[in-house]
Every structure is written in C-alpha cells, then in structure tokens.
Amino acid sequence: DGGITQSPKYLFRKEGQNVTLSCEQNLNHDAMYWYRQDPGQGLRLIYYSQIVNDFQKGDIAEGYSVSREKKESFPLTVTSAQKNPTAFYLCASSHRARAGGPQETQYFGPGTRLLVL
C-alpha cells in the first residue's frame, strides 16, 4: 500500500535535547513538507523540499532542521533552540507542479505528537 508513515506516534523530549521525527513516503513524490499544528492555529509550514538535496525554510523554521538525502525520506530535527516544541507535527508529500500548473494535492502522514518532559 502506498502512503506516508511517521514515527514515532508520541515523542517525549527533555530540556536541552535534540529529537528527530521520521517521515517516509512510497508515493514517488518529489516534494515533501513539515507542518506544525497547535490548537486553534491551523497548520504552519516549517520546512519543505521540492527535490532531493534541496530544501527551503517555511514560516516557522527557527529551532528546526531537516535533511533530504533520499527521495523517500524527510526527517525533521527539533533542536534545543526550539523553546516551545510541544505540538502535533505533520509531514506531507506531493508531486511537483507541472510548469505553469497548479500546486499538486498534498497527502499527509498520521502525525507525531511531541511533548516536553
């Protein structure tokens, strides 16, 4: 079955610790995205990648880092610089838009809930 997987489902972080959230897709999508969701705030873009070995900052990139070494994988690291990391993190992927065409549909993974101890 094609889809997007995120792990773990729940993650606990201690003060000063870096943690990494996994996102894998087997949909053959070029583009991948990370969103943060807080109650009442909608989905806010952290980072996105349109192609392997390239990524761009979104609206709230401070305190986060990513890598895109493989097409299927786009891990997100929440660093100790992120002072308020408690949130629901969603990974998404899509095909790249055709030249002059619209943004393609984004498909979301099940999410990782990050809590601070």
Task: Give residues in contact with other proteins (CB under 8 A).
Answer: 31, 33, 35, 40-45, 48, 50, 58, 90, 96-97, 99-103, 105-111
Peptide bond into 39 cis (omega under 30): no
Nearer of residues 23 and 78 to other proteins, judged by Cβ? 23
Cα separation, 115 vs 92, in Å, equals 21
Greatest CA separation for the chain: 47
Single-letter amino acid code for the residue at 115: L
State the Cα–Cα distance between residues 9 and 73, nearest whole angstrom: 17
- Provide, rounded to whole angstroms, the least separation between the CB of residue 20 and other proteins: 20
Least CB distance from residue 16 to other proteins, whole Å? 28
Output 48 or 64, the one with its CB closest to other proteins: 48
Closest separation between CB of residue 96 and other proteins, Å? 6
C-beta closer to other proteins: residue 2 or 102? 102
Cα–Cα dist 13/76, whole Å: 14
* Token pair 């786009």 in the structure block, residue: 74
Least distance between other proteins and beta carbon 115 (Å): 14
Q: Which is nearer to other proteins, 85 or 109 (CB)?
A: 109
